[in-house]
Amino acid sequence: MPRRRHRNHLPTRPTWRCQACGIAWPCSAAKLRLLGEYRNDRVALTVYLATLLTEASEQLTEVDPARLTDRFLSWARARG
């Protein structure tokens, strides 16, 4: 059986679409990977995403800043 090639769900700049699946980044797969990588440090994840949000907001000037903030940060908040 052929091995499936691992696909990295990383952002393509300046469009901020996923390299693997083509949807707006962070896609579901990227979110799951990031939550796993930062499971013990949600603050570091938020800082990382805020840095990427700043870069994306400079490149995606036609997108409402509130929508970008929601797209990049709202899902990463700690639950509870």
* Separation of alpha carbons 69 and 50, rounded Å: 8
Query: Under DSSP, is residue 17 helix (H, G, I), strand (E, B) or coil?
Result: strand
Burial class (CB in 10 A: 0-12, 13-18, 19+), 25: buried
**Full-model pTM:** 0.85
Query: What pLDDT digit, counting tens, does each position of 35-58 carry?
Result: 999 999 999 999 999 999 999 999
Query: What pLDDT digit, counting tens, does each position of 55-76 carry?
Result: 999 999 999 999 999 999 999 9
| Residues facing residue 17 across a β-bridge | 12, 24
Angle at which helices 28-37 and 42-59 pack, to 10 degrees? 140
The number of angstroms, rounded, from the C-alpha of 3 to the middle of its chain's C-alpha atoms is: 26
